Structure 1
Amino acid sequence: MSMKNATSLISLEEAQTDVWVCQIIAAEGVFGFLGNLLVCFVILRVRFLHTMTNYLLVNLAVADMLLCLCTFFHYLFASSRCTLINMVPSSSLGRELYCRLVASQSLIWVFFNASAYNLCVVTLERYIAIVHPLKYARKVTATRMKTLVTLLWMLSVLLALPFLFTIKASDDLDKACSDIEYLNQAFPILLSVVLVSFTYIMPVIMMSWAYYKMQVTLKRQAQALNLQRARAAAVDLVIARQRVISMLTIVLGALIILWTPDNVSVILCLYPTSDSILNFCGSESFKYISGITSFLIYLNSVVNPIIYELKYKKFRKGLRVVFCTCLDEHGGSNSVDAEMARR
């Protein structure tokens, strides 16, 4: 086999591998969208799930759902690794929006940030309820939570704004978007450090500390109730809180496990530029590793609904309420809701 033919064969194999990566991540986006949509539907549909914690979980599920949807469209139409369907808007405005919102991954970054911050808000709400219960009614009001959620979405958009200006519509008719451009070589380094710090390192440290404090507090409360031989209702309340915190701790653990590889690669190789002090960052091996880390970080939005199903007892009951075929359409659901809530 000639050297030219061998090179062509290698390039074909690499292209096929890229297509597989894009297909898997696009499929991942579909499953994640449907799973988080189910979470929103169940919590909003079932009355005994209408609590502050669950409303915040709905907000988290919305962020994950939109992230999965943007991931699907990005890897379907605009990924730099491959394009499963070649469909670029013909109008100037359409091409500009396509390049700045989809190809640049700016929307993906918005929902990544929102996912991390929404989990922080869920953690904050549970932290106040467990560690400072006497202050809960005063500090955790519906108005304050709405304001906090609005601010975190605004911050998520703000941190993703730089990506809008890295890619624009290309003047070349054969090319949809321009290459990534920066006014200053230090800008991508600063952007990478800021994103990793504010969307990964700081949230993980704060949430880990909060869950540690909550676990210690719940353990102390359980021991005190056992010594006092308290009523079953008080013990059940502590057990229910322990289950919710256990579930949320697993959600945080999944985020740490699945986000860490990608964030390490961001710091080491100064993503999204190809310049790095490490030669490994420009190699084909890193290209495949990058595909794996991308798969893992998107997987986090897919596994959250699965964690709720496996570890959140009330959510499982809510699923049974929603999908039980024996419910009476006009009156049975209220009685079932009440029965489920008492269990």
Structure 2
Amino acid sequence: MQTQEKEAGLCFPHLQNSSCRRSGRPPAESMLMYITLSSMSVLTVALNLLVIISISHFKRLQTPTNLLLLSLAVSDFFVGLLVVFQILLIDGCWFLGDVMCVGYYIVDYVITSASVETVVLISVDCYVAICEPLQYFMKVTKRRVCISVSGCWIFSFLCVFIVMKDNLRQPGRHNSCYGECVVVFDQFSGLVDILFFFIGPVSVVVVLYVRVFVVAVSQARAMRSHPLSVHGSARVTLKKSDLKSLRAARTLGVVVVVFLTCLLPYYCAVLEGPAGFVSLSSVVFFTYLFYLNSCLNPLIYALFYPWFRKSVKIIVTLQVLKPGSRDIKMM
């Protein structure tokens, strides 16, 4: 009986001496995690797919800013698919082999890195729109945005081979038992990761949005304090384009704040390392919080962008299949 119970607690019962043990979580806790992660995965994939279809299909939505949101939605979409692998790891066992383990971490690294770099581009776009509005349409063009987004993804692909080089040479070399999925970065790789995908991007985003906030506040004060027009019938307000820029800045600001809220705890836990004071359960929670950000972004669009709500209605009611639907006025 004891032998059967011992084998039931192993990932690979036929490899008793070298198999990893299951996490041993209570069934209720495991079921809650299954339901939570499954729901998160389905919602993330579905909502970001709506964003991808909306911006890709409707010509009026293919603005430079929305192309950045499209890149972010693509990375978030794949994050939703990757959550499936987290579901497989709930019991603490990896059954897909060492090569698939390294492949999973490579895809995860590229997607999350590209997502971080895209948020930096969104911050730059917002900065130019608010702080240099007269030069925005000259500096921020579709061509430049496409080149910048492509550069982010290419840069992420290049960095992953630097960071994962040791794990690529010999997949599974850092596993202590069969059924484990572990990758380890050396000191240089860890420095590249922290510098280019945490400290650098977060610093740029914070500096830019502090500047944007200062300028936006000054513009709002100017609107309130502007004297009445010569006819005395109404108060002079900003141009319609300026108001749109302020609204877009507010929305993108929410996206960035939510992103940092979900990102910072995870990276702080990573920086603590194994010798830190963060418990394993906290690391798991921070990882799920990091993935949750990919589900929250489309909800933010639905809350602040009328064009997204309108496009979702058209897609869900299948009006998107009608001829000429690409030219519908969305904004």
Q: TM-score range by the shorter chain?
A: 0.7 to 0.9
Residue from 65, 68, 75 that aligns with 2:86? 75
Residue from 57, 72, 84 that aligns with 1:45? 57
1:260 aligns with 2:264: yes
Structure 1 gaps of 5+ residues are 89-94
Answer whether contact 1:192 1:266 (CA < 8 A) is retained. no
Q: CA deviation at 1:327?
A: 8.7
Residue from 295, 306, 331 that aligns with 1:313? 306
Structure 2 gaps of 5+ residues are 10-21
1:200 aligns with 2:207: no
Partner of 1:25: 37
Residue from 66, 74, 83 that aligns with 1:62? 74
Q: What number of residue pairs does the alignment pair up?
A: 304
Distance 1:23 1:100, change over 3 A: farther
Aligned residue runs from structure 1 range 231-242, under 5 A: 234-242=238-246
1:158 aligns with 2:158: yes
1:304 aligns with 2:305: no
Q: CA deviation at 1:243?
A: 1.6
Aligned residue runs from structure 1 range 85-234, under 5 A: 86=95, 88=96, 97-102=99-104, 105-161=105-161, 162-163=163-164, 165-166=166-167, 168-169=170-171, 175=178, 180=183, 187=186, 189-224=187-222, 227=226, 229=229, 234=238
Deviations 1:59-89 (Å, cap 9, x if unpaired)?
A: 11001111221232x2245x385348x4x3x
Task: Name the CA distance, whole Å, in 1 between partners of 2:208 and 2:64.
Answer: 18
Task: Name the CA distance, whole Å, in 1 between partners of 2:141 and 2:55.
Answer: 19
Partner of 1:247: 251
Percent identity at matched positions?
23
The one-letter amino acid of 1:294's match is T
Distance 1:81 1:121, change over 3 A: farther
Deviations 1:279-318 (Å, cap 9, x if unpaired)?
A: x56xxxx221121111101101110001111122332233
Partner of 2:287: 294
Distance 1:83 1:12, change over 3 A: closer
SS in 1 for 2:135: helix
Q: CA deviation at 1:190?
A: 4.4
Task: Name the CA distance, whole Å, in 1 between partners of 2:253 and 2:182.
Answer: 41
SS in 1 for 2:322: coil
Answer whether contact 1:28 1:302 (CA < 8 A) is retained. yes
Q: CA deviation at 1:238?
A: 2.6
The one-letter amino acid of 1:256's match is L
39-48 or 215-224, larger mean C-alpha shift: 215-224
Q: CA deviation at 1:144?
A: 2.3
Answer whether contact 1:225 1:235 (CA < 8 A) is retained. no
SS in 2 for 1:14: coil
Partner of 2:14: none
The one-letter amino acid of 1:196's match is I
Partner of 1:91: none
Task: Name the CA distance, whole Å, in 2 between partners of 1:217 and 1:181.
Answer: 43
Answer whether contact 1:130 1:214 (CA < 8 A) is retained. yes
Q: CA deviation at 1:255?
A: 1.3
Deviations 1:23-42 (Å, cap 9, x if unpaired)?
A: 63354233212111111112
SS in 2 for 1:166: helix
Deviations 1:212-262 (Å, cap 9, x if unpaired)?
A: 322333343444456265998844333222221111111111112112221
Partner of 1:329: 322
